[in-house]
Every structure is written in structure tokens, then in C-alpha cells.
């Protein structure tokens, strides 16, 4: 179905956009930014979970100490108050987690829109800012195609040159002032 949704014109326009390699560099840069963003958001969520874990431990410790210092006839009243406090803390934790998750989703949605806009401005066929799930899937498939072409192009280039390592530009020659001299 992905191939059926791509017209010959779209494929031709995509091929033209890929010719000079700039789109590959843009996609690689966007991928790196996305990974950094995802890592940052993941770490923020982990910090929040750790804060919640510490908060729960402190509350349990406080409740245990209060129960040990409490007179037996006051224990049921204390336990009821502690249960209410625990429920309030758990409610606050759930709300903070929901707020963090909403923040993460919004940030990722912004990243997607930024990526779409960047690729559209670079003239990559099929890319424009949208939230339509079908169009998003098409764009994801186009990105996957670009990544596969990039990987194949890199392997094919190495094989054609008989090299095992990454491509290196020819060494430039410089004059005494540091200006490049043609070979």
C-alpha cells in the first residue's frame, strides 16, 4: 500500500532531491537531534520516577516512626490519617506522571513538525507539516527508504572504491599562507 501511494512524480522528485547527498546529511542530523531529544526526555522521566520513589520511602519512614511513637489507643486514628496522606501523595504522583507524559508527547509532536518542516524546506518530496496518521505513516516510510538508500549508497561506494573504511575526501594541498592549492 505504501508503494501504491507514491506516484511516479513523487519518486522522481525524491530521487532528484537525493542526488547531491544533502538530504542524507539533513536526515542524519534530524535523526541525531531526535535521539538526543528522546534521551533527554527519558532522563527527565527517570528523574521524576526517582523523586517519587524517594518521596514514597520518606513517607513510609515517617509513618513507621509515627506509629512506633503512637500510643496504642490512638493507633487507628493515626493509621486512618496516614492512609489519607498516602492516597493524597499517590494522587499527586499520578498527576505529575500524567503531566510529564503529556509534556513528552507534546515535545515529540513538536519534533515531528520540525522535522517535517525542515524536510519540506529542503525540497524533499512528500514532506510537509501534518498530523494525519496516514500521511505520517507515508512520511515515516519515505524516511526509512532514504535511510536504506543512504546505507546502500555508502556500502556501494566503498565496494566500488575497494575501501573498507569510511570515505575520506582527497587531501588538500596548501600554500604558505594556508590557501588551498589545486592538485
Domain count, the chain: 1
Give residue 178's pLDDT.
Answer: 52
Helix H or strand E encompassing 180? strand 180-181
Q: What is the mean pLDDT of residues 64-71?
A: 94
Q: Is residue 60 included in any domain, yes or no?
A: yes
Which pLDDT band holds residue 157 (cuts at 50, 70, 90)? very low
Q: Is residue 180 included in any domain, yes or no?
A: no
Alpha-carbon dihedral 90, 92, 94, 98, rounded to 10 degrees: -170
Domain span at residue 145 reads 8-160
Q: Is residue 64 included in any domain, yes or no?
A: yes
Give residue 77's pLDDT.
Answer: 95
Q: Is residue 2 included in any domain, yes or no?
A: no
DSSP letter at 20? T
The answer to whether 17 touches 123, Cβ cutoff 8 Å, is yes
Which pLDDT band holds residue 159 (cuts at 50, 70, 90)? very low
Q: Is residue 65 included in any domain, yes or no?
A: yes
Helix, strand, coil proportions of the chain in percent (round to 5)? 80, 0, 20
Residue 15 has pLDDT above 90, yes or no: no
Q: Assign 174 to helix, strand or coil.
A: strand
d(CA 156, CA 158): 5
Q: What is the pLDDT of residues 130-150, one digit of tens each?
A: 999 999 999 998 998 888 888
Q: Is residue 54 included in any domain, yes or no?
A: yes
Q: Is residue 172 included in any domain, yes or no?
A: no
Answer yes or no: pTM beyond 0.75: no
* Burial status of residue 94 (CB atoms within 10 A of its CB: 0-12, 13-18, 19 or more): exposed
d(CA 115, CA 111): 6
Amino acid at each position: 500500500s505504501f508503494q501504491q501511494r507514491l506516484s511516479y512524480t513523487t519518486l522522481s522528485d525524491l530521487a532528484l532531491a537525493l542526488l547531491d547527498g544533502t538530504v542524507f546529511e539533513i536526515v542524519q542530523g534530524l535523526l541525531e537531534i531526535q535521539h538526543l531529544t528522546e534521551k533527554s526526555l527519558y532522563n527527565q522521566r527517570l528523574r521524576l520516577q526517582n523523586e517519587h520513589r524517594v518521596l514514597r520511602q520518606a513517607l513510609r519512614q515517617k509513618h513507621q516512626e509515627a506509629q512506633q511513637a503512637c500510643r496504642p489507643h490512638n493507633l487507628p486514628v493515626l493509621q486512618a490519617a496516614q492512609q489519607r496522606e498516602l492516597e493524597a501523595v499517590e494522587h499527586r504522583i499520578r498527576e505529575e506522571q500524567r503531566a510529564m507524559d503529556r509534556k513528552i508527547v507534546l515535545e515529540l509532536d513538536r519534533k515531528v513538525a520540525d522535522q517535517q518542516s525542515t524536510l519540506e524546506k529542503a525540497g524533499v518530496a512528500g514532506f510537509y507539516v501534518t498530523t494525519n496518521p496516514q500521511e505520517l505513516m507515508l512520511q515515516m516510510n519515505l524516511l526509512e527508504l532514504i535511510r536504506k538508500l543512504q546505507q546502500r549508497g555508502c556500502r556501494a561506494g566503498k565496494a566500488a572504491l575497494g575501501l573498507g573504511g569510511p570515505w575520506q575526501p582527497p587531501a588538500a594541498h596548501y600554500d604558505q599562507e594556508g590557501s588551498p592549492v589545486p592538485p
